[in-house]
Amino acid sequence: MIAVIDYGVGNLFSVQKAFSYLGADAKITSDERDMVSAEKLVLPGVGAFGDCMNNLEATGLIPVLKSEIEKGKPLLGICVGLQILFDGSEESPGAKGLGIISGRIKKINAPTLKVPHIGWNSLEVRAPRQRNDLFAGVSQSSYVYFVHSYHAVPDDGSVITATTEYGEKLTAAVALGNVQATQFHPEKSGDVGLKIIKNFIEVQS
């Protein structure tokens, strides 16, 4: 079973529907027992960084989430679910992130373009460096769907697995060990997004 973590934010049903379409047993849940028994975790998120962290803290699920990650359980973060893996964000200066990946979330610097960055954009996928590559079989310059005003700036750039261009080079995906995350929405990204989700379903612990 794949646990789609419900903490009051995120495209939960769209995410679950995409996993189910590919034959995975995906369950929307806020029960820590499901998170412990699940083979994999999905951490979605939409809205403001601070609101997402406040909601997640209110559920009391952060300790079990961190514990399962430390045990090596695969996790996929989506959109703000990527951002809250980091230490903090310019969007919500007083809010602490999960601190699973070192770095901060910064406002997109695109003075000649509209922010938020909304719509389809192409990916520059970096060469895979791990066994469970989220982008295996995904062609260079494939298009995926974004909705965001902020992006991740990791302390260690080697965790970036894909970028996109929008006024500047933006972090589109990251990976650190068993944790992988996309700034874009794979569940809204057509066949390319389904391939990325399928790759996560097939991740081996």
pLDDT tens for the chain, 205 residues: list them. Answer: 999 999 998 779 999 999 999 999 999 999 999 999 999 999 999 999 999 999 999 999 999 999 999 999 999 999 999 999 999 999 999 899 999 999 999 999 999 999 999 999 999 999 765 678 899 999 999 999 999 999 999 999 999 999 999 999 999 999 999 999 999 999 999 999 999 999 999 998 7
Tokens matching residue 109 = 């610097």
Peptide bond connecting 44 to the previous residue in cis, omega within 30 degrees of 0: no
Count of domains observed in the chain: 1
Enumerate the active-site residues: 79, 185, 187
What is this structure's pTM?
Answer: 0.96
Asked whether 4 and 27 are in contact (CB, 8 A), the reply is yes
Task: Please tell me the distance from the alpha carbon of residue 54 to that of residue 59, in angstroms, as a whole number.
Answer: 9
CATH number for the domain that contains residue 13: 3.40.50.880
Render 44-109 in DSSP notation, one character per residue: ---S-HHHHHHHHHHHT-HHHHHHHHHTT--EEEETHHHHTTSSEETTEEEEE---SS-EEEEE--
- The residue range of the domain holding 63 is 2-201
Task: Please tell me the distance from the alpha carbon of residue 55 to that of residue 49, in angstroms, as a whole number.
Answer: 10
